[in-house]
């Protein structure tokens, strides 16, 4: 969360990424053919934690002059695996009505970077990404609210912990709140816990980053992008076996 030498791994950040990946896999296990609807609740942590990891990366990847480096490469990897993941995503998820999650993250990166940097190109791309998010919200997983979440997390990283509740409201808006609230009013405990998970996910992520500072876990490097399409194929094979 602080500006650090980009050659040194941030163990807390790697831990957050692994936990976000685990949360995503648990969420998608709901589609393998078993009665695992309760996994919807831990699954609500995945997207905000990936957005939080993005926000941290935007603050820590700096060169000696204090300018960001490597962010175009970051965007390139997101766009490449957005394309590579779409077919596995559509093979696994029944009747998907949005693209996979990586286009949302790519647009979110541009919006957050455009706010963070004063250069005309970054501001222009950020504005374009925001317009695309607003115009194409129905095709984006988590919609325009999801695109705004990395920026919201970027703005609260160095503020007191209770500011993290504000991105929680945005996280809830990015999820299916129109379905969650009526279900919660009818006493559905999964919907009730899902609402709580959305609201608390950013705060829990920030607390994890602070609690795990200095820890040592396996580094999640660029190869980890391949885990996104691969996990769809593995779960598809599991569903076929069941």
Q: Where are the beta strands (DSSP E) in the chain?
A: 4-5, 61-62
Q: What pLDDT sits at residue 1?
A: 32
Confidence of residue 63 (pLDDT cuts 50, 70, 90): very low
pLDDT for the residue numbered 2: 33
CB-side neighbour CA atoms (13 Å) of 13: 22
What DSSP state is assigned to residue 42? H
**Using CA atoms, how far apart are residues 219 and 216, in angstroms rounded to an integer?**
9
The residue that leads in pLDDT, 8 or 75, is 75
Please state the domain extents for the chain: 4-241
What number is the average pLDDT over the span 171-199? 94
Phi-psi region of 94 (alpha: psi -120 to 50; beta: other; left: phi over 0): beta
Per-residue confidence (pLDDT) for residue 67, from 0 to 100: 53
pTM: 0.91
Task: Let me know: does 194 contact 175? Beta carbons within 8 Å.
Answer: yes
Per residue in 94-122, is it b (16+ CB within 10 Å) or e — as a string?
eeeebbbbbbbbbbbbbbbbbbbbeeeeb
3 pLDDT tier (thresholds 50, 70, 90): very low
Does residue 29 have a pLDDT over 90?
Answer: yes
Q: What percent of the chain has pLDDT over 90?
A: 74
């Amino acid at each position: 969360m602080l500006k650090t030498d980009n050659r040194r791994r941030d163990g807390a950040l790697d831990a957050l990424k692994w936990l976000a990946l685990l949360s995503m896999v648990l969420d998608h296990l709901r589609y393998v053919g078993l009665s695992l609807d309760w996994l919807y609740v831990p699954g609500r942590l995945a997207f905000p934690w990936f957005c939080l990891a993005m926000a941290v990366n935007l603050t820590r990847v700096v060169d000696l002059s204090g300018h960001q480096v490597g962010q175009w490469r970051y965007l390139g990897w997101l766009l490449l695996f957005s394309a590579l993941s779409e077919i596995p995503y559509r093979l696994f998820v029944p009747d998907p009505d949005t693209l996979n999650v990586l286009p949302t993250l790519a647009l979110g990166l541009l919006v957050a970077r455009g706010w963070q940097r004063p250069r005309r190109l970054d501001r222009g791309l950020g504005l374009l990404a925001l317009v695309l998010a607003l115009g194409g919200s129905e095709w984006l997983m988590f919609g325009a609210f999801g695109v705004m979440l990395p920026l919201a997390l970027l703005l609260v990283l160095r503020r007191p912990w209770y500011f993290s509740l504000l991105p929680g409201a945005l996280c809830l808006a990015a999820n299916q709140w129109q379905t969650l609230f009526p279900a919660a009013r009818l006493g559905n405990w999964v919907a009730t816990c899902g609402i709580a998970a959305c609201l608390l996910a950013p705060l829990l992520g920030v607390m994890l980053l602070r609690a795990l500072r200095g820890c040592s876990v396996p580094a999640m490097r660029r190869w980890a992008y391949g885990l996104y399409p691969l996990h769809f194929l593995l779960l598809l094979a599991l569903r076929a076996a069941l």
